[in-house]
Amino acid sequence: MDVTTWYLEQTSPADLRPGRTPAIPAQVVRAEVPSPEFSRFLYTAVGGDWQWTNRLPWTWKQWRDWLDRPGVETWVAWVRGTPAGYAELVAQDDATVEITNFGLLPYAIGQGLGGWLLGEATARAWDLAGRWPEREATRRVWVHTCSLDGPAALANYKARGFRIYDEKLNAPGDEDEGETPGPWPGAGPRD
């Protein structure tokens, strides 16, 4: 199966086009305490149906080491006290912030939350240095998505003002193209 990976960026906060406010009450809150358990839950709950497998073998310590670095942030969308989706931001040394993971839990897809959450997360990437004084002001926000991700992913990034700056076919490091793992080991895909 051919897999295409798109690399997208914004180079100014003015590039951001926020999504519509969702019709259902929702909020986005930063998970300020690094929690391997919570982050692994979000990773598998959101990515289990989309071939997110790179972090499945990570130990608790690997998760903790990843999350406990200055400039790594997890922003979570909540609907009626339930996680609906998340974005993981990672500040890089060149005044760049990568949105390393982004998506919605299956129940939240199709409720008008994706564009709104992406807009909120991107705004938090642009103002990340205000929360991490040792970081330079953000000059670039980037993300990548691939043809194995949700069908609305690429369109959502473009609608929020991200522009494609590179595209690769069957790029090294693509996720396994086999059956999706589902939300936890042994769960299998949702049907």
Domain extent listing, the chain:
4-169
| pLDDT in the model for residue 174 | 43
For 75, half-sphere exposure in the C-beta direction (CA atoms, 13 angstrom radius) is 24
Pick the CATH number of 4-169 from 3.30.70.2520, 3.30.930.10, 3.40.50.2300, 3.40.630.30: 3.40.630.30
| pLDDT in the model for residue 54 | 86
In total, the chain counts a number of residues equal to 191
| pLDDT in the model for residue 175 | 46
Cα torsion 149, 155, 161, 162 to 10°: value is 40
127 DSSP 8-state letter: T
Distance of CA 107 to the CA centre of its chain: 17
| pLDDT in the model for residue 124 | 98
Calculate what percentage of the chain has a pLDDT beyond 70: 88
Other C-beta atoms within 10 Å of 93: how many? Answer: 8
Distance of CA 84 to the CA centre of its chain: 12
Whether 190 has a pLDDT exceeding 80, the answer reads no
What is the DSSP secondary-structure string of 139-159? Answer: -EEEEEEETTS-TTHHHHHHH
In degrees, to the nearest 5, what angle opens at C-alpha 60 toward C-alphas 56 and 66? 85
If you average pLDDT over residues 55-83, what whole number do you get?
A: 95
Decide: 189 and 179 in contact? Cβ < 8 Å.
yes
If you average pLDDT over residues 41-56, what whole number do you get?
A: 86
Integer Cα distance of 19 and 166 in angstroms:
24
